């Protein structure tokens, strides 16, 4: 009787080991199918991920000049200096009341976030409060 039990145990281990071998073989095949160059060529970091959109007081981060650099139909542009780094930026202050179609406005802002061209002004940050939207742009 012990011979029969030993035979059962042996057949089970044989089955288990053959399953294990098949699994290991599949894993090895998967490892060889891994193509780092292909993955890196498909890896994309979008510029708009680095442009922050904050709510709150912009004056906690920038000092704005008293005199505007220019005025347009929608807002006024001031010279802003980042408090921590001293970087100078153009800050466009847009009154929320003058924005008639917020969806269209944000579509245009999102387009600016993604564009990177020497003849198109770069957008660095966006701030909002109850009355204004602030677009922090390159000078």
Selected residue with higher pLDDT from 119 and 11: 119
Q: 54 and 115: one domain?
A: yes
Q: 51 and 87: one domain?
A: yes
Cα(79)–Cα(118) distance, integer angstroms: 21
* List of residues 6+ apart from 61 with CB closer than 8 A: 82, 83, 84, 127
Q: The whole model's pTM is what?
A: 0.64
Count of domains observed in the chain: 2
The single-letter DSSP state of residue 85 is T
List the domain range (segments joined by +) for residue 38: 2-42
Q: 106 and 84: one domain?
A: yes
- pLDDT tens figures, 93-128: 999 888 888 889 888 888 888 887 888 888 888 898
Q: 83 and 31: one domain?
A: no
- pLDDT tens figures, 56-100: 788 899 999 999 999 988 889 999 999 999 999 999 999 988 888
């Amino acid at each position: 009787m012990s011979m029969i039990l030993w035979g059962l145990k042996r057949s089970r281990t044989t089955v288990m080991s053959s399953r294990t071998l098949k699994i290991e073989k599949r894993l090895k095949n998967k490892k060889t199918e891994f193509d780092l160059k292909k993955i890196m060529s498909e890896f994309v970091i979008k510029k708009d991920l680095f442009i922050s959109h904050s709510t709150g007081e912009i004056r906690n981060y920038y000092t704005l000049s008293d005199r505007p650099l220019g005025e347009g139909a929608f807002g006024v542009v001031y010279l802003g200096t980042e408090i921590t780094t001293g970087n100078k930026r153009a800050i466009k202050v847009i009154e929320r009341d003058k924005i008639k179609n917020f969806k269209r406005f944000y579509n245009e802002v999102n387009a600016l976030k993604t564009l990177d061209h020497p003849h198109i002004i770069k957008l660095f940050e966006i701030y909002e409060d109850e009355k204004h939207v602030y677009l922090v742009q390159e000078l």
